[in-house]
Structure 1
Amino acid sequence: MEMIDLTHMIKEGMPVYPGTLSPEIKVETTIASEGFEERLITIFSHTGTHMDAPSHILDGRRSLSDFDISDFAGHAVMIDVRGMDTVSASYIRSYEKELRGAHFAVLFSGWSSKWGEQSYFENYPVLEADAAGVLAASGVKGVAVDMISVDPVDTVTFENHKIFLNRNMIIVENLTNLHLLEGKEFVLNCIPLRIEYGDGSPVRAFAMMG
């Protein structure tokens, strides 16, 4: 069985959503001094390749601890949005057959190639609200993207987030290596930390084939 890692490395100084603090990773004990090495990690719950739960945006809604682990894996359909400014409802409808019975829709923009650059946060393809509605109505339990967000980075309304999360879907952002999955059938695995009442979590995302 072939497995492809879709996760960005967590490290100090990594790209984060504007206004969020970068992770702090400190070596607190060492093998030389205490006989074992251990790090103190301070990190926001939506750092790097991560998952949004409905409670991230919607007050009183499901948190990560309300989901079963089976909700974090399933057959995925990759939707190619490279070169687009916005993604229309009609374009999403063109994937209707592929989405039937799928668990995840994965939007492939190629934006992960800009990781570490300012341009990563600018002008990436964004679903029109009607397109997000079509995707939400398709029956998938999650949407995943290789971009910083499913909304524009300067949004104050988080419209697409609300469309998905109102349906108790999960959102995965900041995937990488999607170019390695072109033309392939795969199962997407996005495994978050088991955080009580978690509004989100970094995930180890990977694809399984064969």
Structure 2
Amino acid sequence: MAVNLRQWLRDRRLPVAIVLVGLAAGASQLLLWWLGPAPRARDFVGPPRSSYTLNDARVTEFGVDGKPSVYLQAPRVDRREGDESLYLDSPTFQIPAEQADVPPWRGKSRYGWVNKPGTLLKLQGPVELHRDAFTDAQGTSRPEAGVLTSEVTAWPRENRLETAQPAQLTQGDSRMNGVGMRANLSDNHLELLHDVHGILFPQSRNAPARPARAGSAAAAARPGKEG
């Protein structure tokens, strides 16, 4: 009987080897499943969910002095779970001036984002800002001013904003273009940083236009100074 079994196994070595390999692989997989760590949960499942949504929303952010630092209005505002930041669709905004005789900066963008403390505002474009003409406390007329760019990072409580993208500044009839911009709205100082070019007009509308020098962007943007 033993001889017949050995003969049978010799005649069927290949099928028997396949069966043994399969059993060994199955046993190894079972042992790995039993001794291995539990599978990790997925860290990210889908997009961040909105904790609530507002339609035709109006948002006012206040500074440390208790005064409004920015007014925001949007047809839709989503507050996200986790960081509790606000996402705005097609927002319009108003940044009040610190001086009583200076009009606010008003603007609009395609998208907006505000962090939970309200200290950081990001706008994606096109982004447009505009300030009306006014007469300051010294009786000097200041022409209207505007900014056009593709994105802006702003600190409303500090009345500061900046962009690394191409930007266009206008003040009255003067027009300046450059790459990168910094602005301090407290003193109405706007500065283009790189590749600055444009045309500056003196206060007299009858004076001929002259090309702007690269270093004159800050002077052109500062109200009351000719480039």
TM bin, normalised by shorter chain, reads: under 0.3
Greater fraction strand: 2
Larger Rg: 2
Q: TM-score, normalized by length of structure 1? A: 0.22
Q: TM-score, normalized by length of structure 2? A: 0.21
Higher relative contact order (CA 8 A, sep 6+): 1
Greater fraction helix: 1
